[in-house]
Amino acid sequence: MLVSIYRYNPEKDTAPYMQDYEITIPGNRDVMILDVLALVKEQDSTLAYRRSCREGVCGSDGMNINGKNGLACITPISEATKGKMDKLVLRPLPGMPVIRDLVIDMTMFYQQYEKVKPYLENNTPAPAIERLQTPEERAKLDGLYECILCACCSTSCPSFWWNPDKFVGPAGLLQAYRFLADSRDTMTQERLAGLSDPFSVFRCRGIMNCVNVCPKGLNPTRAIGHIRNMLLTQQV
Amino acid sequence: MVNSVTNLGRSGVYDWVIQRLTAVILALYTLFLLGYVLATPDLTYDVWKDLFSCTAMKIFTFAALLSMCAHAWVGLWTISTDYLTSSAVVRFIFQLVCAGFLFTYLVWGFDILWGV
């Protein structure tokens, strides 16, 4: 199988380039892209990519696979090459600075994540044991808390490409809503005030690239819609 | 919170509301004009002049004109802050040119409307 991979080592290369590798998959099995990368790595040990859990939990190996962002460890070859030639094109997640090969600098992504204060804030006295929720209140967090911060969604969003320093991006906004929807959080007004500017939330144009690529099947566009409704209800 | 001194409502919420509200006004105005043209087979200059001489029509047209300017400003401001990010000077010049055109259209439109 032909695998074309984005290569860039800033210490040696003046510009990025695509390098082709011919690999043989043992038993012709439908392996994951991460396994393909391991086979390439056997041929060329200079190739750099991130990986850790190899089962779609840590979010380390997000990359652009045949034009679509996804996790290498849970994307089988059959899915990546669907409807195309028997060729695999792997690039780093788009719109972010490349450190080397498939490894990107995620500083801006984490800065936006930090901006939404992704932790519970409650200014009432702490109860003796824990802050309880009804099953209904807890159910509101389903589809929000599962995000693994792989950055597949934010790096597929044109609004995030244009303004990564101002637009929070789908991943950050999903987390923002996760705490806005939490019955135990008491800082709703302050959180909304921090999101009412023209960039943080309202740069979302609802094109749903984020929904299309999320490897966990989450829906950041819906969460952004909920935030927008909360802002409108509060300020109009 | 990211602030910008050049956007219309100084807030994402206001801009969002302004853009939707003005879109509704523009849609109603377009549909009305389209309906009027289709429902008036004998559309002469005098009929057209009578329509725009009516105060209600002047108010409706001016509302549409204001809506067009506000709608265009929100949209063009968004485009300028999406695509002209490398130079604040270029972005500001683009915004000034847009503002100049929109202001001209507004005054010109007002002049035509009240000249009927």
Q: Can you tell me the ipTM of this complex?
A: 0.80
Residue A22 has pLDDT above 80, yes or no: yes
Q: Is residue B64 part of a domain?
A: yes
Mean pLDDT of the B102-110 span: 95
Q: Is residue B5 part of a domain?
A: no
Q: Is residue B2 part of a domain?
A: no
Number of helical H runs and strand E runs in chain B: 4, 0
What's residue A85's pLDDT? 64
Range of the structural domain that residue B47 is part of:
12-114
Cβ contacts of A192 on chain B, cutoff 8 Å:
none
Residue B1 pLDDT grade (very low, low, confident, very high; cuts 50, 70, 90): low
Between A23-27, A92-96, A111-115, A215-219, the lowest mean confidence (pLDDT) is in A23-27
| Interface with chain A: mutation pick from B16, B84, B95, highest number of A CBs within 10 Å | B16
Residue A60 has pLDDT above 90, yes or no: yes
Collect all residues with Cβ–Cβ distance below 8 Å to A28 and sequence separation of at least 6. none
Collect all residues with Cβ–Cβ distance below 8 Å to A64 and sequence separation of at least 6. A90, A91, A92, A93, A94
What's residue B2's pLDDT? 62
Q: Is residue B98 part of a domain?
A: yes
Residue A84 has pLDDT above 80, yes or no: no
Q: Is residue B58 part of a domain?
A: yes
What's residue A81's pLDDT? 87
Contact (CB, 8 A) for A215 and A53: no
Residue B5 has pLDDT above 80, yes or no: no
Identify the CATH number of the domain in which residue B27 sits.
Answer: 1.20.1300.10
DSSP state of B40: -
Is the Cβ pair A162, B83 closer than 8 Å?
yes
Q: Which two tokens stand for residue A115?
A: 């901006």
- Residues A179-204: tens digit of each pLDDT: 999 999 999 999 999 999 999 999 99
Q: Is residue B4 part of a domain?
A: no
Residue A109 has pLDDT above 80, yes or no: yes
Q: How many CB atoms lie within 10 A of CB B86?
A: 7
Cβ contacts of B82 on chain A, cutoff 8 Å:
159, 162-163
Mean pLDDT of the A166-181 span: 96
Mean pLDDT of the A207-233 span: 96
Total domains in chain B come to 1
Residue B108 has pLDDT above 90, yes or no: yes
Residue B47 has pLDDT above 90, yes or no: yes
- Residues A30-48: tens digit of each pLDDT: 899 999 999 999 999 999 9
- Residues A211-221: tens digit of each pLDDT: 999 999 999 99
Q: Is residue B57 part of a domain?
A: yes
Q: Is residue B93 part of a domain?
A: yes
A199 touches chain B (CB under 8 A): yes
